[in-house]
Amino acid sequence: MARNSLSITDNRTGENYELEITDGAVRALDLRQIKTSADDFGLITYDPGFSNTASCKSRITFIDGGKGILRYRGYPIEQLAEKVPFTDVTYLIFEGELPDSEQSGTWANAIAELCLPPEGIKRIVSGFHHDSLPMAMLMSTVSALSGFYPEGRNLADQQIRRRQLLRLIAQAPALAAYIYRFKKDLPWVEPRSDLPFTRNFMRMLFHTTGADYQPDPVLENALDVLFVLHADHEQNCSANAMRSVGSSRPDPYLAAGAAVGALAGPLHGGANEAVLRMLDEIGSRDRVEQHIERVKRGEVRLMGFGHRVYKNYDPRAKIIKRLAEQVFEVTGTNPLLDIALALEKIALQDDYFVKRKLYPNVDFYSGLIYQAMGFPSWMFPMLFAVARMSGWVSQWEELMRDKEQRIARPRQVYLGSPRRDVE
């Protein structure tokens, strides 16, 4: 009978070792026993970017990149996007199960009651220049909540922890809306606790004087679905930042600020902005093939294609492509859509991209939808952050409950000078 273990022969010494395999993984510390001598530190692994290293055990999100599968707590993303509103998805990610009608109402009310940020947040936002980077402003305001809610440092009390995490989910839309209104030189619009999550957010963004803002139901649903698609995505860069900073046990506001900073990078939350810039640079359908050839020559990148974990069509991209059709029926077709469709068609048939398993990802069409709905491109990463806050806080809470977790402190492979003396 096969043993659930890995046998290793160290060719440097001829020694044999047997490492236990648990849940498809070997423990990195088990490698430390592999030494060339008694004073040898022991073997470590070198894995830039954590390409094949698990930093935690999680029950939240499952991804099979080869098959194009994404599930929250076991539920396929396709079903959640079609049938479950965003606030119920946040409950699912945090609590582990879909809520019944009573739990759904209680959860939504708990979020609504905490949706108003401290008044001092407006002074922080107003202290920035109007051309400041929006994600820098969001990172600052999220982190600043730590100063307004000092009880958040009491990590031992589960109920206090829960309240801070709900507050982060609840106030993220208002923080983003305050930044949007400031940059647009518009008066503040306060959140309303009697409105659904996504409608409340849209009102804070787009309400003007006169009649109260009422979003088009198709656009409201589209934004809600986009929030569902972005709610969590396993151990991505920003979730890893949330966990890594959280491992030193600051309050969750400071850890969430770090996650916002990670999301601000163009390789993470800014990717859909890059897609729009690419489509603008292509300019017309008849220049698509020319751009494809430039990509193959290594002159430019094909933005919105390929993903670190998906080696198949990103399941979120399929949903967003269908969603775009509904949105454009209301807003009118985005002229860049024709370029995007032509680009996708050629790329999916070209051996160069097929062999490299480069398929459209979530960023390829999401920017087109956001743009059609009236969001400036600098707003895109903040929309991502509003949705992803639910995933971040769920990852953080899972970290807090994991007794195996320790402060994040990776090893390094030192390549510098050996000891030398100052003469």
- Residue 307 designated active-site: yes
Nearest to 112 by CA among 92, 134, 90: 90
Q: Catalytic site residue 363?
A: yes
If you search the block for the tokens 């396709």, which residue do you land on? Answer: 78
- What does R_g of the chain's alpha carbons equal in angstroms? 24
Q: Of 218, 200, 249, 212, whose CA–CA distance to 326 is shortest?
A: 218
Amino acid at 6: L
Active site residue 268: yes
100-108 contacts: CB < 8 A, separation 24 or more?
108/196, 108/197
Q: Are 107 and 87 in contact (CB under 8 A)?
A: yes
Q: How far is CA 179 from CA 1, 43, 200, in A?
A: 62, 49, 16
Catalytic residue among 88, 224, 232, 363: 363
Query: Helices 271-282 and 380-401: crossing angle, nearest 10°?
Result: 150
One of 30, 64, 268, 350 is an active-site residue; which one?
268
Question: Hey, what are 423's tokens?
Answer: 């003469």
| Residue 18 burial by Cβ neighbours in a 10 Å radius (0-12, 13-18, 19+) | exposed
Dihedral (C-alpha) 388, 394, 398, 400: value to the nearest 10 degrees? 100
Task: Check 207, 251, 307, 314 and give the catalytic one.
Answer: 307
Question: How far from the centroid of its chain's Cα atoms is residue 121's Cα?
Answer: 24
Question: Rounded to an integer, what distance in angstroms lies between the CA atom of residue 90 and that of residue 229?
Answer: 11
Partners of 19 in beta bridges: 6
Residues serving a catalytic function are 268, 307, 363
